[in-house]
Amino acid sequence: MAPDSHTDPHAWLEDVEGDAALDWVRAHNERAVSTLETERFAQLREEILEVLDSTEKIPAVVQRGEHLYNFWTDAEHERGLWRRTTWESYRTTEPEWEVLLDVDALAAEEGVSWVWHGAQVLRPAYERALVALSRGGADADVTREFDLVTKTFVTDGFVREESKGALRWADTSGDVVYAYTDFGEGSMTPSGYPRTVRRWERGTALEDAPEVFAGEHTDMSIGAGHDFTPGFERDVVWRARAFYDSDTYLLGDDGLTRIDVPRSAEPDLHREWLTVELREDWETGGRVLPGGGLLAIRLKEFLAGSRDFTVLYEPTESTALVGATWTRHHLVLNVLDDVTNRLEVLTPTDGAWQRRPLDLTSAGTGWEAPQLATLAVGAVDADESDALWLTVTGFLTPTTLARLDLDEDARVVALEPLKALPAFFDTEGLHVEQHFAVSDDGTRVPYFQVSPTPVADNEVVRPLPTLLSGYGGFEIPRLPAYSATVGRAWLARGGAYVVANIRGGGEYGPRWHQAALKEKRHRAYEDFAAVARDLVARGVTDPAHLGAQGGSNGGLLMGNMITGYPELFGAVVCQVPLLDMLRYSHLLAGASWMAEYGDPDDPEQWEFIRTFSAYHRFDPADEHPPVLFTTSTRDDRVHPGHARKMMALMAEAGKDVTYYENIEGGHGGAATNAQAAFMQALAHEFLWQRLGA
């Protein structure tokens, strides 16, 4: 039976690295491998790994000074190389890379399974960096100071021991950092993130560094950083009480000055400008400013008391803002209209903001955006130029990267293709459609479908093995993207692939997210079920051939499909999931998500939380689809106990349930390409076995 609020016979599986729990994990891993490691599995793993290790991948770069920096993994560099090149070289077919740090060599030398977590290069000299490394892919990591001239770690340099948190450069001298990390008892929040931040000078002990700010013990996290923009240098402290509830402060000689905007809003600083993205309506300055909108005002005027904001973007029923990117002179908005991108350029002038569509054909390239694809832009160097990175990707459109240059009038003066993925799978006979399902309350829910082109009814065998994916949380939209692994493992073998844009996500901005918060969570699950039914009603598939897959919050979604809508699916893959919603806020980072799900320790809130706690909804008397649970021992964000306990509960009831737990990997589930290929092949082999081709 499912546990009630007073007892949990599987609680012992929450002991992450306990001997008994790991023995249980190993036994289930062996059973999973014995049934899923088939000849097809080996082919799937090989095909996926070939993509992940391909030297034809786009080397994503960021510009720091004269160099473009990249982190790269392939077959020879499993844990990766941090490297850099020049613009001149990057524009060639085979760039010449200067290797800065070989993470594989470091891992071998130190006997630690290091996973790259990024680096902050110090401006303006670009001679030092703060490098973050994780043991096994966990969120907790270490920071070490690195010399970009000698390409070695700095002897007696800044070092932060393993913890969630970070070091950030605090000025241009390179002799001061902001440190937010585990300083001992009382310094971490219930979510497991730092509660205090200190200003640490070189040559002093970290424990002696003066405290800059301390949040409340009930907060989620805090942090600090320095804005290096020439002429606009400033220090910023941020405090997150919870998701969608935070404060941002300017740190000056007189102490902290709060940027006085709604706590649910997201302020951003660029040169003399303050922009504010609202999640809710805000009554200020004698008017009501729209939730989901973007506002702008000069920071100096705002701090002097003015609230004369300019509304740069206001949402409609079909649109949402998903990005706002500053260049030197412009602000580029990325707007979704029924989950399709359009780009606009706004330019501040003396008296107003000029607005024009970003016309990608105006440079005379003849380039046109593909249909039902995703466009994304990012500044190359917002302090120095009006150049943008332009990324284009779609389900059947291999990702391309270009450089886009604007003039001061926001016209495109150059569109330079830089890199493109090869076609990793054959798309002939495949096409992409967008459809809308109708949820229980009448809401239209969009979804994308990738499937064989219906040339004639007798040329496409129906029902198709169909994989339905979704997330529906934290205001994160699911957009079209080229996935060579899904293409090879699923589409090229005759399956249809579907992405559901359910409530809880960000496809229609804050309102779409807020429609599925806390006591309204059921709407996300009703939306996903509505898409499943629509696929059957349209004749694409039937329940026996329909599979569902999701991870993290999407794993909670899968748990609710298993327990609430089992008749709709022939198989479910549930990855790094949340499932026990009575215990979630007491496990690892779980307390940080109570703004999303609610507080299970409050009896009134538990009454609605239990309606989507899959661990408590499970009824052994019900029929359930076959399920594969996967997770990671090193996941220190979503506790592996969720998947372990649900597996135990369902196995105890004699259900068709399979379990695999990767030892490394953190919340991503895998620490290396080989591990990722193995885990993805397991999932697809499971789906092909249960759904049939």
E strand or H helix at 100, and its extent?
strand 98-102
For residue 58, which phi and psi values (nearest 5 degrees)? -75, 120
Q: Check: CB of residue 555 under 8 Å from CB of residue 577.
A: yes
Q: Strand 282-284 relative to strand 287-289: parallel, antiparallel, unpaired?
A: antiparallel
Name the active-site residue from 10, 117, 226, 667: 667
Q: Which of 469, 552, 613, 632 is catalytic?
A: 552
Q: How many residues does the chain have?
A: 693
Residue 647 CA to residue 285 CA, distance in Å, equals: 55
Given a contact cutoff of 8 angstroms between Cβ atoms, the answer to whether 485 and 495 are in contact is no
φ/ψ (deg, to 5) at 20 = -65, -45
Beta-bridge mates of residue 290:
none
Catalytic status, residue 632 = no
Task: Check if 552 is active-site.
Answer: yes
State how far the Cα of 448 lies from the Cα of 438, in Å rounded to an integer: 14
Tokens of 483: 């996935």
- Residues 343, 334 contacting (CB under 8 angstroms): yes
Match 């009038």 to its residue by tokens: 409
Give the DSSP letter string of 421-485.
----S--TTEEEEEEEEE-TTS-EEEEEEEEE--SSGGGS-SSPPEEEE----TT--------HH
As a three-state string, the secondary structure of 315-345 is: CCCCEEEEEEEECCCCEEEEEEECCCEEEEE
- CB-CB neighbours of 666 under 10 Å: 26
**655 phi and psi, to 5 degrees?**
-80, 160
C-alpha to C-alpha distance for 123 and 72, rounded to whole angstroms? 23
270 forms beta bridges with: 273
Contact between 567 and 623 (Cβ < 8 Å):
yes
DSSP bridge pairs for 169: 177
Beta bridge partners of residue 98, listed in sequence order: 84
DSSP 8-state class, residue 242: E
Q: Which residues are catalytic?
A: 552, 667
